[in-house]
Amino acid sequence: MHETAIVAGLMRIIERHAAQHGVRHVKSVRVKVGRLRAVEPQQLCSCFEMFAEGTVADGAQLIIDVVDVRGRCRTCATEFVIPRYHFECPHCAGKDIDVIQGQELYIESFEANDSGAADENPDRSA
């Protein structure tokens, strides 16, 4: 279950940024997760609840934005959503595809109860 390692990293980032900004309680955390990361959202939420208990993020809502896989054909430069991991260009049937989206894994933002503002883009890596 790699969700545990992911959440441990997320919590380190959240706690570090909360301390830097004098935040005592985080209300919500928004993360971007690409489909290629093979992260199970329900598992991520469960791990987050467990790791957040007793921390600055205790009771915080974890909002997960799942990012579709997109590719660009090296033959004809067509950009497209890659359905069901079928790496073939819908325009020319080429199989030489660059993945341009779908590998994301980062905190987009978090919202604090006591600071009145969200800390946008606290860190792009977990």
Of 29, 28, 34, the closest CA to residue 9 belongs to: 29
Please, are residues 83 and 40 in contact by the beta-carbon 8 Å criterion?
Answer: no
Those residues whose C-beta lies under 8 Å from the C-beta of residue 87, and which sit 6 or more positions away, are 71, 95, 97
pLDDT digits over 28-87, tens only? 999 999 999 989 999 999 999 999 999 999 999 999 999 999 999 999 999 999 988 899
- DSSP annotation of 55 reads S
Taking 90 as the threshold, does the pLDDT of residue 121 lie above it? no
Of 58, 53, 41, the closest CA to residue 3 belongs to: 41
Q: pLDDT category, 11, cuts 50, 70, 90?
A: very high
pLDDT of residue 102: 96
Q: What domains, with CATH codes, occur in the chain?
A: 3-113 (3.30.2320.80)
